[in-house]
Structure 1
Amino acid sequence: MSIVRRLASLNSGPKPGLRRGRRPAVAAAATAGLLALAACGGANNQTATAADTGAPKAGGTLKVSFFPDNPSLSCIDPFQVYWIEHRTIIRNFADSLTDQDPATGKIVPWLAKSWDISSDGLNYTFHLRDGVTFSNGKKVDAQAVADDAAGWIATVKATNGATYGASYIQGLSGATVVDPLTVKLTLSQPNSSFLQATSTTNLAITDPAEYTETPTQRCTGQGVIGSGAFVLDHYTPKVETVLTKRPTPYSWASSLEKNQGSAYLDKVIFNYVAEDSVRTGNLVSGAIDIAWPRNPFTVQDAKLITASGDTVEKRSLPGVAYTQFANTAPGRVLSDPEVRKALYKATDIKTYAATVFGPDYPVVQGVFNSTTPGFKSEASKLAYDPAGAAKILDADGWTLGSDGFRHKDGKELTIEYPVSQFSAGAELLQSQLKKVGINLNLRTLTPAELATYLPNGDYDLTQTYFTRASIGALQYILNPDVANSKALANRSASPDVTAHIKDLFAQALQTTDASQTSKAYADLQDYLIDQGVSFPLFERVQEAGVSSHIHGFAFTSESFLKLNDVWKDNGS
C-alpha cells in the first residue's frame, strides 16, 4: 500500500478531539496532525484551472465525490462548520458581504458594494447592493445582516464558544441598521482581520430565520437558506448533499466571477467515498465529474487521471501549514532552545515531501502555506544540515553513545511523539532524527489517549494547522487568550516568548494601518522560527481530479470549489 494512501485527512480543517467546534486551531496532533499527514504540498496556485474554452452550455448534473463525511460534527450550517468539504458546498449556496481575490488576497465587494472602517477600527459600515434576495424571496437588507450578526453572537453563547465561527467574530459586539441598505457592525476592540472574515463561508449571510432553530437543527440544514446561485436541496449526513440551481434569477455574483448571472448547472450531487482508488476509478470511468480527495493523489492515480484525458487541479490551502509544536514546559527535553535549534537542522523537509507525497511535491517554506496573504518564506532557516545539528548538540553537552543516541547527565535525548494508526511519515522522520542521535519515540495512542494526551502534556512534539486566508488564524493556536487549546498554546513557548507573540498579534490586529499589520506579521513569522516555536513539516494542498467534460473549474481564496462558472460540454 502506498504511503500516501495511508494518510488520513488534513485538508478538512481542524479535526475532532477538542470540545465541539473549538477546533479551528488545534486539531490536536491526535486528530489534526495525528489523524493524518494529508493534503499538503505547494501546488499549482492558479485559480481558474480546468479548460474553459467554448461557449458555456446550460444544464446538466455535476457529480462530485468527497472523502467520508465528518464523523464527529455532521453539519452544513455556515457559522458552525469547520469541515472543508462542507465549507466548499456552503460557498455555492450562501454568499458573503465581501469576497477575496485568490491571486492577490485583496478583499472585493460582493453583497456589500462598499464599506467604511472607522479610524479607531471599531465600526465596519457596509453599503449593500439593492435587489438581492435569499432563495426564498426574502430581501437581503441591512436588517437581515444585523439579525445574522445577532445570531452569530447568540450561537457562540449557546455553544459556550464551541463553534468554528467564534474565531471569525472576535470582538464583535453587535450591529446597527443605519438605513435599509446600510448596516454597521461594531467591535469591542480593533480586529484588522475582521474584514477578511466577512469574505468567508463562516460569515456567509443567510436568512436570519434560521437562528430560531437550535444549533443542532441548523447543522442538518433545517432553515439554512442563502442568497447564492444554488439552493441547498438536502443534506443527508454521511450519504450525500445536493444543491439545485436557484429557481429565480441570480445577478449579484462577486466581481471575481466570469459568469455574473445564474448558474449553468441544474444540480450538483456531492457524495462520500472512503477509498481513494474507488474515487479515482469512478472519475476515469465517467461515473463522476470531480474526485475531491483529502490527501494528494498518489503518483499512480495522478498518472491514471491524466492518461484518461482528465486533469489534476491543485492549490495550496491558505493558513497555517502542517507544522509541529514543541512542549517547552520545564523539564521537557524541548524546553532546551539548543535542542530545538538542532531539530530544524536535523529535519529534511525536502526529502520528507518527496518521499511521502511524490517527487514533484513542493517543500514547505515557513509557518504558513504559500497562498496565505502576507506569507513570508523562511526557507533558509529550515535548510537541512545534519552536521550543523550535531555541532549544536555537541556544544550543548549531548554526547553520542554506543547505542547511536545522545545522552546528557544520564538522560537519553528522546522526543515523545504521539501517533495514531494513520500517521504516515512518522517512521521517516524518526529515521532522519536518528542520524544526529535524537530518538524520536513513536507512541501509538488509543482513542482514549488521543483525547487526553494534549491537555495532560504527555508529549514532546505534536502537530496542528488552521485553514484560513489570513495570518491572524495562527492566534487560535498560539495566543492563550483565544487559543482553542490553551494547554498547547501555553506549552509551545516560554512565558516571555508567548508574551512577545501576543504583542505581535496585537500590533497586527489592533490597528487600521495596513503597513503596521504587514510588518508585525512578517516579524512574527521570523520570530516563530528564530525562537523554535513552530517546526513546519509540509505545506498542505487541495487537489481535485476534474473530468475533461467539465469547464470553468476554479478555486476560491480558501481553495474551495467555486461553481458559478462551471459547465459541462455535453450539458447532461
Structure 2
Amino acid sequence: MKSIRHWRAVGALLLAVGIAATGCSAQAKVASAQGGDPVSGGTLRFAVLDAPANLDPHSGSSYPESLITSNTSDKLTYQNPETGEIEPWLATSWEYNDDLTAFTFHLRDDVTFNDGSKLDAAVVKENFDILGLGNEALGVPAVTAYWVGFVSSEVIDPLTVKATFNRPNAGFLHALSHYFSGIVGHSTLQLSKADRALPQNIVTTGPYTVTEQIYQEKTVLTKRAGYDWAPASRAHSGEAYLDTVEIAVIPEASVRTGALKSGEVDAILDVNSTDEAPLKAQGYQIVSQLIPGRDIAFDFKTDVFPTDDIAVRKAVNLGWSRDALKKTVLTDSYAVSTSAISSRVPGWKDFSADLTENQDEAAKILDAAGWKSGADGIRERDGKRLTLELLGIDNLVVNKPAYELIQQDLAKIGIELDLAVLPIPDFSAESKKSGVYNIQVANTSRADVAVLEQTYSPLFSNAGKLAKDNPLYQQAVDVLLGVSATLDPTARAQAAADAQEFILDTAALTSPVYNPAQVTAADPKVHGIKYEAQSRNVFYDTWIEKS
C-alpha cells in the first residue's frame, strides 16, 4: 500500500511542470493583508451574477451553487490552492494499493455535523455509495465523472473506510477534494433529489450553514459555533471570522459595480472586464484566480457535418488569433489557452506554438480537403456551406466578446460561425439536442489531469462524440486511460502530455480559447479574500475591519 506521502510528492512534482513555464500567471492573486490582525464578527455583503437553486453539495453544479456548498461542506481531502498538493482534512491519512483500485481512509474523531451527529466511517460509506452508485429510488444519480469504476465501500472500523474500484483511478484523491464531494449527514442522504436541494434539509460539517434563502434574491450563511477542523494549511484554525455572509443576486454587471461603489455591498464577483482597472484605480481590491481544469474551449462534434471532417477542425484551430483575444478582450485576470487544460493543472504542457494563428496554413488545409470559396467568401463543398453552429453559455462576462472575435477571424478563411450564446437554463435545454450543434463551448473545473479522460474519452462524457466505427475511437480510449492509470510522477506527466497531444492534434477534438478566472472586487476594509483550488470563493479566512 502507498501512503499519503507518495501522493504529496506526485502533486508537487506535477504542479512544478506547469508553474515553471507559466510563472505568476498560474498563481492565485491574493489581496494584501493590510489593516492589522484579523478580527471576528460582522457581516460580509457579497453580490453574484447568478442565483443558486440547488444547495446539495453532491449535485449543486453551477458556480453560485458550488460557491455556497464550498462554504457549508467539508471534504475528506484538501487540495492546497497554492501548491496543488492533496492534504488531510476530514481524513487524517490514507493508503492505496499499487493498482490504484483500493483506497483506505482514516478519519478525524472530533468532527460533528450541524445536527449534532458525529462523523464516522458509516456515514462516509453512505456518502461514497450514493456518490459512486447513485440511488434510483431517491432519484439521485451517481457522480460518475469523478467516481469512474467505483464498485463498493466498506467500513473497516468506526473511523476507517475503504473504497474499491474496478479500474485504476489516479484522480480519486483529487476528486474527494472537489466541490462535488462535500460530506453530508445521514438524514440528508435519505431524501429525494428534490428534497436534498432545500437548505433546511442539508446537514453538513462546514464552517457555515445556510440560514436563509430567497431564490433569485439572496442566500445567508451563518457561522457554525464550535467549528475546529479546518485543513492545517489554512490561514487560521477554529471558527470562521465572519458572523454572517449575505450573498445577493445582482444579474447586471454594471449594477453590481454600482452597488459596490455605493457601499450597498462589500464585495462583488463576476466583475465586468471593463470595470477592473477603474475599480482598482479607485482603491478597490481586485482579487482573481484562474480556474483550473478544462479551459473554455470549442469542443467539436465529430458526428455532425461539417466538423466530422478533421480538416475543418484543424483549420479552426489555426484560423483565429489568440494574440488579438489577449489584447482586445481579456484582462490580466485571464489567460489565453495554451493547451487543452489550464496551466494550473498538474501535468499541463505548453502547446502554444501549435495554437498560433496561421490563416495561410488553415486555408491550405481546407483547399486540400475540397472546400472552395463561394460567392460570398464562405467555403462550400458538394453544394454545402462551411457553416458551424456554436452553442455556448453567457455566464462569464468575456465569453460572448471572445466568440465574436473568433467569428470574425474565421470568416476571413471562409468559415461561417453562427453563435447561440445563452443563459444557463436555455443552454442546458439546447445541449440535450443531438445533431444540431457542431461546437459546444464549456469548461470543467478540476485541478487534476483526469479531467481529460472524464471529458473526452468515448467511455465517459465523449465531448467529441466519437462513434465506435471512428478510427480514432479506440485510440482515444487507450491514450486517455493513461492519465488515470498511474501516480508515478514521471509516468503520469508523460501520460498527460500524450493525452493533450491526442486531443489537440491527432484527433483535433477541441480548440482551446481562454483560461477563465473568478474575479472579485472588494472594499479595502475586507481582508482574506481567497479561493479554494477550483476557484470558488471561500469565506473561512475572510474578515472585515472594525469601523
TM-score, length of structure 1 as denominator length: 0.83
Partner of 2:447: 469
For the structure 1 residues 442 and 263, does the alpha-carbon distance in structure 2 shift closer, same or farther, using more than 3 Å as the test?
closer
* Alignment of structure 1 residues 18-29 onto 2, 5 Å: none
Q: Does residue 350 in structure 1 map to residue 319 in structure 2?
A: no
| 1:37-70, Cα deviation, whole Å (9 max, x unpaired) | xxxxx99544461222321111101111111215
Contact 2:295 2:443 in 1 (8 A): yes
For the structure 1 residues 271 and 393, does the alpha-carbon distance in structure 2 shift closer, same or farther, using more than 3 Å as the test?
same
Give the Cα–Cα distance (whole angstroms) in 1 for the partners of residues 443 and 467 of structure 2. 14
| 1:4-33, Cα deviation, whole Å (9 max, x unpaired) | xxxxxxxxxxxxxxxxxxxxxxxxxxxxxx
CA shift, 1:567, in A, is: 0.8
Contact 2:209 2:222 in 1 (8 A): yes
Partner of 1:303: 277
Q: Secondary structure at the match of 2:472?
A: helix
Q: Secondary structure at the match of 1:92?
A: helix
| 1:470-501, Cα deviation, whole Å (9 max, x unpaired) | 22223343223221xx6x54259972223212
Partner of 2:471: 496
Q: Secondary structure at the match of 1:167?
A: coil
Aligned length: 518
Q: Does residue 541 in structure 1 map to residue 514 in structure 2?
A: no
Contact 1:372 1:471 in 2 (8 A): yes
Partner of 1:121: 100
CA shift, 1:107, in A, is: 0.5
For the structure 1 residues 178 and 539, does the alpha-carbon distance in structure 2 shift closer, same or farther, using more than 3 Å as the test?
same
Q: Does residue 64 in structure 1 map to residue 43 in structure 2?
A: no
| One-letter amino acid of the counterpart of residue 127, structure 1 | H
Q: Secondary structure at the match of 1:305?
A: helix
Give the Cα–Cα distance (whole angstroms) in 2 for the partners of residues 232 and 472 of structure 1. 32
Contact 1:324 1:535 in 2 (8 A): yes
1:172 to 138, 150, 157: 150
Partner of 1:432: 409
Identical residues among aligned pairs (%):
31
CA shift, 1:533, in A, is: 1.2
For the structure 1 residues 256 and 45, does the alpha-carbon distance in structure 2 shift closer, same or farther, using more than 3 Å as the test?
farther
CA shift, 1:550, in A, is: 0.8
177-186 or 144-153, which moves further after superposition? Answer: 144-153
Q: Secondary structure at the match of 2:212?
A: strand
For the structure 1 residues 55 and 224, does the alpha-carbon distance in structure 2 shift closer, same or farther, using more than 3 Å as the test?
same
2:303 to 323, 329, 348: 329
| 1:93-149, Cα deviation, whole Å (9 max, x unpaired) | 211111001123210111111100122322211111222222333221222212322
* Alignment of structure 1 residues 95-174 onto 2, 5 Å: 95-153=74-132, 155-158=134-137, 162=141, 165-174=143-152
For the structure 1 residues 378 and 287, does the alpha-carbon distance in structure 2 shift closer, same or farther, using more than 3 Å as the test?
same
Give the Cα–Cα distance (whole angstroms) in 2 for the partners of residues 116 and 444 of structure 1. 45
Give the Cα–Cα distance (whole angstroms) in 2 for the partners of residues 492 and 466 of structure 1. 23
Contact 2:347 2:492 in 1 (8 A): no
Give the Cα–Cα distance (whole angstroms) in 2 for the partners of residues 302 and 214 of structure 1. 42
| One-letter amino acid of the counterpart of residue 431, structure 1 | Q
Listed as ranges, the gaps of 5+ residues in structure 2 are 1-22
| One-letter amino acid of the counterpart of residue 233, structure 1 | T
Give the Cα–Cα distance (whole angstroms) in 2 for the partners of residues 325 and 437 of structure 1. 20
Q: Does residue 207 in structure 1 map to residue 185 in structure 2?
A: yes
Q: CA RMSD in A?
A: 2.9
For the structure 1 residues 445 and 89, does the alpha-carbon distance in structure 2 shift closer, same or farther, using more than 3 Å as the test?
closer
| One-letter amino acid of the counterpart of residue 64, structure 2 | E
Q: Does residue 389 in structure 1 map to residue 362 in structure 2?
A: yes
For the structure 1 residues 451 and 180, does the alpha-carbon distance in structure 2 shift closer, same or farther, using more than 3 Å as the test?
closer
| One-letter amino acid of the counterpart of residue 520, structure 2 | A
317-326 or 389-398, which moves further after superposition? Answer: 389-398
For the structure 1 residues 552 and 178, does the alpha-carbon distance in structure 2 shift closer, same or farther, using more than 3 Å as the test?
same
Give the Cα–Cα distance (whole angstroms) in 2 for the partners of residues 412 and 519 of structure 1. 40
CA shift, 1:256, in A, is: 2.1
For the structure 1 residues 548 and 530, does the alpha-carbon distance in structure 2 shift closer, same or farther, using more than 3 Å as the test?
same
| 1:377-414, Cα deviation, whole Å (9 max, x unpaired) | 21111101112222333344444455333344554433
1:517 to 492, 511, 515: 492
Contact 1:48 1:553 in 2 (8 A): no
Contact 1:44 1:314 in 2 (8 A): no
Partner of 2:436: 458
Contact 2:57 2:182 in 1 (8 A): yes
Higher RCO, Cα 8 Å, sep 6+: 1
CA shift, 1:173, in A, is: 2.6
| One-letter amino acid of the counterpart of residue 394, structure 1 | D
Listed as ranges, the gaps of 5+ residues in structure 1 are 1-41
| 1:300-336, Cα deviation, whole Å (9 max, x unpaired) | x213321331111111111111111223337x23333
TM-score, length of structure 2 as denominator length: 0.87
